[in-house]
């Protein structure tokens, strides 16, 4: 609470009392704290790949370059970490634009099955490398949704690339799409490593990862789900998750069918 006092003086110049002005600044403080926490997190997260790039470069320059295999290994790490840094900066910029709703929605009638097929095509190679099978929605007549196509495409891509990243070789990924009352229900189901119960409430936070090391190996930035949650909210929808460790995870996105 921000409190200001001022004497109340009447027209004759006599002090008649005190004027007290109370401002509720809890919300302002909360936003300020969120912003400064975000900057602190971003700096920390960006420092990790930079430290590693710097370290391996210096070791190479100090003589490790003589050995070709070491050289190759180190350069691979430097290349992977640069890639991750690039993705991180891209995700941070995307997230801040989405959060500030600086991306206007471009609504159009979208064929949902077609959109899912094109998102699946983008990650097809990654999935195939891990011998993951992918089942797309079939049977139903075409579903049309008034929505922002790019926005929905990014939601599906992020969920699918997580499903691929956190499902061991030979697993299965299933995508469902169906009408439910006035809503469209989209699901991305995997048979992967699952998410421990205690972590579930936190996975949509920026930079939150269940297992930092494992997520880093998978090239993760810890921002994918934060982006998904904001995009879903921009489309006036909801997202939920069910998961069992060692069994798999289901993400469900519910969007209003206008």
Q: What residues line the site for ligand ADP (CB under 6 A)?
A: 162-163, 166, 190, 192-195, 203, 208-211, 215, 220-226, 249
Q: Which is nearer to ligand ADP, 112 or 223 (CB)?
A: 223
Q: Which is nearer to ligand ADP, 113 or 215 (CB)?
A: 215
What is the C-alpha to C-alpha distance for residues 45 and 33, in angstroms, rounded to an integer?
18
Q: Which is nearer to ligand ADP, 222 or 237 (CB)?
A: 222
Backbone angles phi, psi at 180, to 5 degrees: -140, 100
Q: Which is nearer to ligand ADP, 49 or 194 (CB)?
A: 194
CB 255 within 8 A of CB 186: yes
Helix (H) or strand (E) holding 221: none
Instruction: Give the shortest CB-52-to-ligand ADP separation in angstroms.
Output: 17
Instruction: Give the shortest CB-37-to-ligand ADP separation in angstroms.
Output: 17
What is the C-alpha R_g of the chain?
Answer: 25
Length of the chain: 258
Instruction: Give the shortest CB-133-to-ligand ADP separation in angstroms.
Output: 16
Q: Which is nearer to ligand ADP, 112 or 225 (CB)?
A: 225
Residue 248 falls in which region: left (phi positive, over 0), alpha (psi -120 to 50) or beta: left
Instruction: Give the shortest CB-223-to-ligand ADP separation in angstroms.
Output: 6
Q: Which long-range contacts (CB under 8 A, 24 or more apart) does 96-100 make?
A: 98/227, 98/230, 98/231, 98/234, 99/230
Q: Which is nearer to ligand ADP, 42 or 203 (CB)?
A: 203
Structure tokens, 96: 């801040």
Instruction: Give the shortest CB-87-to-ligand ADP separation in angstroms.
Output: 9
Instruction: Give the shortest CB-239-to-ligand ADP separation in angstroms.
Output: 12
Helix (H) or strand (E) holding 147: strand 144-148
Q: Which is nearer to ligand ADP, 220 or 237 (CB)?
A: 220
For 145, what's the count of Cα atoms within 13 Å in the CB-facing half-sphere? Answer: 28
Instruction: Give the shortest CB-216-to-ligand ADP separation in angstroms.
Output: 8
What is the C-alpha to C-alpha distance for residues 66 and 165, in angstroms, rounded to an integer?
35
Helix (H, G, I), strand (E, B) or coil at 138: coil
Helix (H) or strand (E) holding 210: none
What is the C-alpha to C-alpha distance for residues 235 and 103, in angstroms, rounded to an integer?
12
């Amino acid at each position: 609470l921000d409190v200001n006092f001022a004497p109340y003086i009447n027209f004759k110049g006599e002090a008649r009392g005190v004027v007290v002005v109370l401002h509720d600044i809890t919300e302002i403080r909360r936003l300020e704290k969120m912003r400064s926490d975000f900057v602190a997190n971003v700096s920390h997260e960006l420092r990790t790949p930079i430290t590693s790039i710097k370290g391996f470069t210096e070791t190479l320059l100090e003589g490790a370059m003589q050995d070709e295999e070491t050289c190759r290994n180190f350069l691979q790490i430097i290349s992977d970490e640069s890639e991750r840094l690039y993705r991180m900066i891209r995700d941070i910029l995307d997230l801040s634009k989405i959060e500030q709703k600086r991306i206007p929605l471009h609504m159009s009638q979208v064929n949902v099955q077609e959109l899912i097929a094109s998102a699946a095509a983008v990650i097809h190679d990654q999935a195939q490398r891990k011998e993951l099978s992918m089942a797309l929605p079939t049977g139903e007549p075409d579903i049309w949704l008034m929505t922002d196509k790019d926005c929905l495409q990014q939601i599906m891509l992020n969920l699918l690339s997580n499903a691929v990243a956190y499902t061991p070789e030979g697993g299965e990924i299933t995508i469902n799409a169906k009408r439910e009352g006035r809503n469209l229900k989209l699901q991305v189901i995997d048979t992967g490593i699952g998410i421990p119960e205690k972590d579930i409430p936190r996975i949509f936070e920026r930079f939150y990862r269940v297992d930092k090391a494992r997520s880093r190996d998978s090239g993760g930035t810890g921002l994918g789900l934060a982006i998904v949650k904001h995009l879903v909210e921009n489309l006036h929808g909801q997202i939920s998750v069910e998961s069992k460790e060692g069994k798999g995870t289901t993400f469900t996105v519910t969007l209003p069918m206008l």
